[in-house]
Amino acid sequence: MSQPTPHADDRLSRKPLGVRRVAALALALAALAVAVVLGVRAHAGGGQAALPKGAAVFEIVEGKTFTGTPYSPATLHIPAGPIVGLRLTDYLGGCGLRTVFPGLGVGGGDAAITVPVGDTRTLAVRAPHPGTYTYECEAHMYLGRIVAS
Ligand SMILES: [Cu+2]
């Protein structure tokens, strides 16, 4: 950025320019604050509820073995009613990075989580009723099964 050549008129515009700079800085800080708040919300949210202390946690491994489904165990048994954790370890790439659990969202709706290959992350879910629930990769290509009782 090149500075304009100073001349007499600049003296008159110096003060308003300073005010404008302060206003621009304040605006930038406000925008940053909003971005941080939104970022924190997106990180905490994204359809992911917090797991209560003492909640049971169940393991799911994705893509290490194929038994008609890349999800292991092929059928996971969880209790119906309480919030439980699903601890996913992912070896699937592509659309398998994201796993969607329709109807198992803690507040209703779907629960979903993205787990990078080789990583392990825990998602809180809740089966509202006893029964069989299926879960899937983002492209609905792979199916896993959860039986809640
Ligand atoms: Cu897929």
20 lies in the same domain as 87 = no
The domain tally of the chain equals 2
141 C-alpha to ligand 1 centroid (Å): 4
Report pLDDT for 44. 40
137 C-alpha to ligand 1 centroid (Å): 5
On whether residue 137 sits in a domain, the answer given is: yes
On whether residue 52 sits in a domain, the answer given is: no
Report pLDDT for 48. 72
113 C-alpha to ligand 1 centroid (Å): 14
87 lies in the same domain as 144 = yes
Report pLDDT for 35. 54
Residue 86 CA to residue 96 CA, distance in Å, equals 16
92 C-alpha to ligand 1 centroid (Å): 9
19 lies in the same domain as 76 = no
Query: Alpha helices of the chain — where are they, by DSSP H?
Result: 9-44
CATH number at residue 105: 2.60.40.420
141 lies in the same domain as 78 = yes
Residue 82 CA to residue 31 CA, distance in Å, equals 40
Q: What range does the domain containing 124 cover? A: 57-148
Report pLDDT for 6. 52
Residue 143 CA to residue 127 CA, distance in Å, equals 17
Rounded alpha-carbon distances, angstroms, from residue 57 to 18, 49, 52:
57, 14, 11
Q: What is the mean pLDDT of each run of 10 residues along the chain (149 residues)?
A: 54 59 60 50 55 96 93 97 98 95 96 97 98 96 97
